[in-house]
């Protein structure tokens, strides 16, 4: 029996808008507006950091550079080996923030429900706006043209019923394109793609799937879910759902998404769980201190991982009671990490604390818990006072002694930033 399609006016409509080669585009626009004669986007160029540090990687590249095999996330040394005449432009993050804010302001003209996913991409709930802006493709084309004419750079827009499929659609042919990926289009448009094109499938996961004889998204969608779980744990179930277009996550406008987050880019590849968890502890120290300084507690904890290919994944959970206790945040982050990490080398780790509330924590009694939360709160308070009086480095855990990273990582509200390209 053929499935009856919902009328468009009753259908959920989600846009994913992604700036094409964001950092390079924004550099190009800024330079053209300030007298430059050449457009970086038309040159063999890339935006990258200092070659003397770990930030010496390609953050964005032009189409001409891509033809030489230059990839986002690879080192500048590798990129220059592929393309000796590659023009390297240092990043200007303050400039990118200004263009990102202008980009979001345009989207907010079309819907009140805008979720900024990273500095260069956002989701917009366009459900029920057909009377204002026309059908989804017409509205998307209008947004795309407005951004290009008013701000000077181009975007790709993906359209679907949920965030996952909209994001997949925006990654189809670039630049300056609009693509749809409705659920009925999945078999034709998504299933033939290599499994590595699916969100949250990194190299390690791809290798495990290949060993199971799974090479395309379609093969993953038709695989036995129990077999995937036995080999990949919860991550296997999650990517099976993604392959079948299942995603129940909601648009979270900024006003509803207040939280305290920190992330840190690591100066070396992290390939073992103990080191990763020590870095998570340093992030929990900072996030916990910020929550306590603001007099608030968080009920939702999320962990984000960016691997050496700049692929980003995140996982979150809701706590039984809101907290600002460093040890509790850390313990939750470790559990999330164990469920999320697929063994791929890690470049960035982040912790985000959300669903923030004021006042005292209302904690349900647990007869089987041995944690003395009152004692942990007193320890945190004492440590905060010492650091406020003598500086944050005046007291630290012994586990951080002689380690090549800060005992309180991510000193500003970086959130869980994604790669920009």
Q: Are 238 and 221 in contact (CB under 8 A)?
A: no
Residue corresponding to tokens 């993906």: 158
Contacts of 116 (CB under 8 A, 6+ apart): 100, 104, 122, 254
Torsion from C-alpha of 31, 179, 133, 20, nearest 10 degrees: -10
Q: Are 216 and 192 in contact (CB under 8 A)?
A: yes
- Phi–psi pair at 381, nearest 5 degrees: -60, -45
**377 carries an active-site annotation:** no
Contacts of 36 (CB under 8 A, 6+ apart): none
DSSP per-residue codes, 16-31: EEEETTHHHHHHHHHH
Give the angle subtended at the CA of 329 by the CAs of 326 and 330, to the nearest 5°. Answer: 85
Give the span between the Cα atoms of 312 and 305, in whole angstroms.
6
Q: Token digits for 350? A: 């982040």
Q: Which one of the listed residues 115, 121, 206, 285 is annotated catalytic? A: 121
Give the sheet arrangement for strand 312-323, strand by strand. 259-270, 346-358, 296-307, 312-323
**H or E element in which residue 298 lies:** strand 296-307
- Residue 273, judged by CB atoms within 10 A of its CB (0-12, 13-18, 19+), counts as middle
Q: Token digits for 53? A: 């540090």
Give the span between the Cα atoms of 317 and 301, in whole angstroms.
6
Q: What is the 3-state secondary structure (H, E, C) of 358-374?
A: ECCCCCCCCCCCCCCHH
Return the closest-CA partner of residue 270 out of 312, 305, 300, 227: 305
The phi-psi region of residue 265 (left if phi > 0; otherwise alpha if psi is between -120 and 50; otherwise beta) is: beta
Which residues belong to the active site? 121
């Amino acid at each position: 029996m053929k499935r009856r399609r919902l009328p468009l006016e009753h259908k959920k409509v989600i846009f994913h808008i992604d700036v094409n080669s964001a950092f390079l585009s924004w550099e190009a626009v800024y330079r053209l507006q300030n007298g430059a004669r050449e457009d970086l986007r038309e040159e063999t160029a890339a935006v990258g950091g200092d070659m003397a540090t770990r930030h010496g990687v390609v953050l964005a590249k032009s189409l001409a550079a891509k033809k030489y095999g230059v990839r986002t996330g690879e080192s500048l040394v590798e990129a220059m080996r592929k393309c000796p005449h590659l023009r390297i432009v240092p990043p200007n993050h303050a400039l990118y923030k200004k263009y990102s804010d202008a980009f979001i302001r345009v989207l907010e003209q079309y819907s009140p429900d805008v979720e900024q996913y990273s500095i260069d991409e956002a989701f917009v709930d366009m459900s029920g706006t057909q009377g204002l802006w026309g059908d989804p493709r017409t509205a998307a084309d209008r947004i795309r043209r407005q951004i290009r004419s008013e701000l000077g750079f181009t975007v790709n827009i993906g359209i679907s019923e949920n965030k996952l499929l909209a994001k997949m659609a925006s990654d189809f042919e670039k630049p300056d394109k609009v693509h749809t990926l409705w659920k009925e289009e999945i078999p034709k448009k998504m299933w033939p793609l290599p499994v590595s094109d699916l969100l949250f499938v990194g190299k390690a996961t791809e290798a495990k799937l290949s060993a199971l004889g799974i090479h395309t998204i379609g093969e993953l969608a038709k695989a036995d879910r129990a077999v995937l779980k036995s080999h990949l744990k919860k991550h296997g179930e999650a990517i099976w759902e993604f392959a079948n277009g299942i995603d129940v996550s909601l648009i979270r406008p900024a006003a509803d998404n207040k939280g305290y987050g920190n992330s840190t880019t690591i100066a070396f590849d992290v390939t073992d769980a103990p080191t990763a968890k020590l870095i998570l502890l340093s992030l929990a120290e900072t996030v916990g201190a910020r929550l306590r300084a603001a007099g608030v507690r968080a009920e939702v904890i999320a962990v984000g991982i960016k691997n050496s290919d700049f692929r980003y994944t995140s996982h979150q959970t809701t706590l039984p009671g809101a907290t600002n206790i460093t040890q509790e945040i850390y313990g939750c982050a470790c559990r999330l990490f164990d469920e999320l990490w697929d063994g791929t080398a890690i470049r960035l780790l982040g912790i985000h604390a959300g669903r923030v509330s004021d006042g005292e924590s209302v904690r349900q009694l647990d007869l089987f818990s041995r944690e003395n939360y009152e004692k942990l709160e007193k320890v945190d308070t004492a440590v905060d006072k010492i650091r406020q009086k003598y500086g944050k480095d005046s007291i630290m855990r012994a586990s951080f002694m002689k380690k090549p990273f800060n005992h309180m990582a991510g000193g500003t509200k970086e959130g869980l930033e994604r790669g920009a390209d």
